[in-house]
């Protein structure tokens, strides 16, 4: 017979209060993102991966990985590591492979914590929606006062103060959709407050990416509310066709760069010039690319540079994640990305109808953001994607268990958006 030890009689504080600890960690995580994360977008990574990792460690036995997504990530990372062999900058590619491995594994860990957060979904969404209102209020007061809230400077120099919210707004353009999906059927007044307090930040921000993502997400949402099946098919077809055909589309688009110069901001013209010479490099190594994280090192001839106003070809990333994959990992890397896009849109189609439009809007907003900003290994970007998917997963199961959504059969341990 097994004797009961003192440890069995008196469980540790963490064991006795594990559920409460998980709840408070989750609340802190989701309150921090639209407030501290709005002011300093890079904070998404340490906040999400740090607190998400703590939840993972507290409940590792109750969790299980997303197998299809894990296998796809493993194949993509294997290609990244192999690309060191043919990279034009092996050291740069080694660093990129290490960073991307850490970021993707951290993102998968965050996605795996959903079983422990299911019981706390109501308090998570309530806290997050209030935090979004608070973040929008802080931004509005700060920008209308000429950025006088000095406690928000966080080391930003005066010349860069207007850009301190850019990345946080880009991420908020994704996270807002699962929150709206939860709040709309429950609290119309809070929805109006969120929209009112976020309209000013997005409209007043110098971040064109956030505005583009918000607009594309809104168009996708309206289409899904009108013709859900047809709109989702159109979103899937567009999302797969544009990256697949991007080198050819940009080659055609380059002929109109001069005509557009007077109608687009400086940052837009700079991107067009970067995309021009990056596209040429794709056709030089179309199958396997130049190596992960090597886009900044691709050669640019003096003849090409003389046609540009801003681009000088020195140490600049593509400002388009689909283009980056083409340049660095070629057609093989793009094929894996197309599988990912198909998998995500398939999971959106499996979501209950009442939240499917919001998920499609978030997907469209993320796709638009990837077209204009960030690198594929930007840790805070991967964190924002993981958080958005996690929130949709939590909502799908919580609402299904409460009987709110259409009677689809759903595995109670795996949210539809996290299933194959």
For position 7, what pLDDT does the model report?
A: 45
Express each pLDDT in 391-400 by its tens digit. 998 885 545 4
Q: Hey, what are 392's tokens? A: 């949709």
CA distance 360 to 348: 7
Q: How far is CA 191 from CA 134, 182, 214, 238, 387, in A?
A: 13, 10, 16, 30, 20
Out of 71-80, 176-185, 313-322, which region has the weakest mean confidence (pLDDT)? 313-322
Q: How far is CA 346 from CA 191, 195, 263, 351, 396, in A?
A: 28, 29, 38, 9, 15
For position 312, what pLDDT does the model report?
A: 65
CA distance 403 to 60: 29
For position 220, what pLDDT does the model report?
A: 96
Express each pLDDT in 154-200 by its tens digit. 555 555 555 667 888 899 889 999 999 998 888 777 887 787 777 77
CA distance 311 to 325: 20
More confident residue, 260 or 96: 96
Q: What is the mean pLDDT of residues 124-129?
A: 91
User: Which letter, b or e, does each residue of 287-307 get, where b requires 16 or more Cβ atoms within 10 Å of its Cβ?
Assistant: ebbbbbbbbbbbebeeeeeee
Residues in contact with 211: Cβ distance below 8 Å, sequence separation at least 6, in sequence order? 202, 203, 205
For position 408, what pLDDT does the model report?
A: 38
Residue with tokens 């609402």: 399
% of the chain beyond a pLDDT of 90: 42
Burial of residue 63 (CB within 10 Å: 0-12, 13-18, 19+) is middle
Out of 36-40, 140-144, 399-403, which region has the weakest mean confidence (pLDDT)? 399-403
Report residue 112's pLDDT band, with 50, 70 and 90 as the boundaries: confident
For position 353, what pLDDT does the model report?
A: 86
Q: Hey, what are 127's tokens? A: 């806290």
pTM: 0.88
Return the top range by mean pLDDT from 273-282, 307-316, 364-373. 364-373
In SS3 terms, 276-339 reads as HHHHHHHHHCCCCCCCCCCHHHCCCCHHHHCCCCCCCCCCCCCCCHHHHHHHHHHHHHHHHHHH
Out of 4-8, 143-147, 233-237, 263-267, which region has the weakest mean confidence (pLDDT)? 4-8
- Average pLDDT over all residues of the chain: 82
For position 257, what pLDDT does the model report?
A: 64
Residue 25 has pLDDT above 70, yes or no: yes
Residue with tokens 């890079």: 42
Express each pLDDT in 198-249 by its tens digit. 777 777 766 788 888 999 999 999 999 999 999 999 999 999 999 999 999 9
Distance of CA 217 to the CA centre of its chain: 13
% of the chain beyond a pLDDT of 70: 79
Q: Hey, what are 122's tokens? A: 């109501």
For position 419, what pLDDT does the model report?
A: 42
Q: Hey, what are 177's tokens? A: 């959709």
For position 174, what pLDDT does the model report?
A: 92
């Amino acid at each position: 017979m097994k004797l009961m030890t003192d440890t069995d009689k008196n469980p540790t504080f963490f064991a006795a209060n594990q559920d409460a600890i998980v709840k408070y960690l989750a609340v802190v995580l989701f309150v921090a993102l639209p407030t501290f994360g709005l002011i300093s977008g890079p904070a998404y990574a340490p906040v999400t991966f740090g607190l998400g990792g703590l939840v993972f460690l507290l409940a590792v036995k109750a969790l299980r990985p997303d197998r299809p997504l894990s296998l796809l990530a493993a194949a993509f990372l294997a290609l990244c590591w192999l690309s060191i062999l043919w990279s034009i900058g092996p050291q740069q590619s080694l660093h990129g492979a290490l960073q991307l491995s850490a970021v993707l594994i951290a993102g998968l860990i965050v996605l795996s914590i959903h079983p422990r957060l299911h019981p706390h979904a109501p308090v998570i969404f309530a806290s997050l929606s209030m935090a979004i209102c608070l973040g929008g209020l802080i931004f509005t007061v700060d920008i209308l006062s000429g950025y006088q809230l000095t406690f928000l400077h966080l080391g930003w120099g005066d010349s860069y103060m207007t850009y301190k919210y850019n990345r946080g707004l880009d991420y908020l353009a994704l996270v807002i959709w699962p929150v709206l999906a939860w709040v709309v059927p429950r609290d119309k007044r809070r929805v109006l407050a969120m929209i009112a307090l976020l309209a000013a930040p997005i409209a007043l921000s110098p971040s064109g990416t956030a505005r583009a993502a918000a607009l594309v997400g809104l168009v996708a949402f309206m289409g899904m509310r009108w013709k859900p099946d047809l709109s989702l098919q159109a979103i899937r077809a567009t999302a797969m066709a544009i990256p697949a055909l991007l080198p050819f589309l940009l080659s055609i688009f380059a002929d109109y760069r001069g005509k557009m110069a007077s109608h687009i901001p400086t940052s837009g013209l700079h991107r067009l010039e970067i995309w021009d010479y990056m596209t040429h490099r794709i056709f030089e190594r179309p199958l396997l690319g130049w190596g992960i994280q090597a886009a900044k090192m691709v050669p640019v001839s003096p003849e090409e540079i003389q046609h540009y106003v801003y681009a000088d070809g020195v140490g600049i990333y593509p400002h388009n994640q689909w283009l980056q994959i083409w340049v660095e990992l070629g057609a093989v890397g793009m094929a894996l990305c197309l599988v990912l896009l198909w998998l995500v849109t398939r999971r959106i189609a499996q979501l209950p109808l009442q939240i499917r439009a919001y998920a499609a809007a978030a997907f469209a907003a993320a796709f638009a953001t990837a077209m204009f900003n960030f690198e594929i290994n930007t840790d805070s970007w991967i964190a924002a994607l993981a958080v958005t998917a996690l929130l949709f997963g939590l909502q799908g199961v919580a609402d299904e268990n409460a009987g709110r959504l259409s009677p689809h059969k759903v595995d109670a341990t795996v949210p539809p958006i996290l299933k194959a």
